[in-house]
A and B are shown apart, each in its own frame.
Chain A
Amino acid sequence: MLPMHTQLNGIRTALPPAQADMPLLWWLRTDCGLTGTRFGCGQAACGACTVHLDGEPVRACVTPCSAAAGRRLTTIEGLAPADGLHAVQRAWIEQRVAQCGYCQSGQIMAAAALLARHPDPSDAQIDAAMAGQLCRCGTYDRIRSAIHHAALLLRQASR
């Protein structure tokens, strides 16, 4: 069987041929050394493992490796441009969003996907896009304001 490939953080990468059903999470964390995608529940219930497939947020803990074939797969490690941080990451630091930090890779990936669809989201749009991302420290209020701030940073950059 020919190996399937995915475009992982911009690099053409062979997917594991024998484990096409294995969730992406374990492949990313173990074989690719990309441990920023976190294990939280294994049931797509918390969002800590959120990555992008062709820019859309998906849960790596229930998405089989085969689903990434021929598509762009982006993890938290590949979100930023080579020379710095993504606007969402900058906003997160400025607003000191993270506490324990464990859910934050997933929060940031979900927020970046939201801003790609809605450059200036309302609170209701933020809630709809982020309601599946659990945070037990309770950083939600700062997540909301950081998303608004990131939207501003992106608009300023595109001017």
Chain B
Amino acid sequence: MSRLPELEQELVATAARLSNTPRRFERRARALIPALALACLVAAALVASGLFDADEAGVHRGGARAAASGGFPADATLEDMLGVFRRPQTAADDMGIKKDQMNEIPDRQPGEDFTKSRRVEWPGVRIFLWPMRDGVCYGVPGGSGCPPLDALRRTGVSIGGGSGPEGHSLYGVVVDGIREVVLTAKDGPELRVPVRENFFYADLKDARVDRVRWRYAGQDQSSSTDGFFPEETEPPPPDPNASFKAIPGSFSTPVRFTAAGKSYGADRLAEQPAELFAAGGTWTGRMQYTGFARASARPLPTTGQAT
């Protein structure tokens, strides 16, 4: 510990701001140029074809908002977002699983690599992080999870929770720049949990948490995790009015179909794979999903037998 920990903390927070600002700007600029060009072309084509309506225009604005909230561009890698993977690996980071043992793990995720693990120094708790393809996995006492990088790019935080005989615990992966997670209950005090090496862990015993916020250095950003330990319920059905964003290159071949005796053609089927995101990966009761396939259809002139 330093003699002036307040000064150390402020210097590190300032360094975090410096590390985020220029790189984020440069990356966004690099990522935005082709994306904007593509978006303009696609928008022009879609508007000209009359296939997408005003609601769908709102979809793209929504997508942009979501990307901005996480603060990382779409091409940000694990190392770009999580500083713990940029530091050298030490003997203390070894989880004890050798490369030739990895295939024996029954529920191993695609690309999951235990040999590249990092141990998070947390008093009294063994916490490890390790990479997987397009994601990061973690293990804490009584729980584990593998949030996708895409979720971290967009939201900056992946929250998980577990229950055991000792009570609840709340934990998660956070991206660079977030230095504190604040847990609050409607009728309880605020619990401030410091972030260490892109991770936070709170042993809540039987305390309830209604809201989780996280603080970037110099900023405050709130999540919408009201009622974090709800009763287990069925996942909600997909919202047909929910927004979606077409993935470039995912347009299907033209589709023809008949409904109520009338022929239709869907020239472009915009599709987004369902995003199945479990908070922490082990908490099926908290699973939420968004995303669905949707087609813009237009009537076809009758040219013969409909199929």
A and B bound?
no
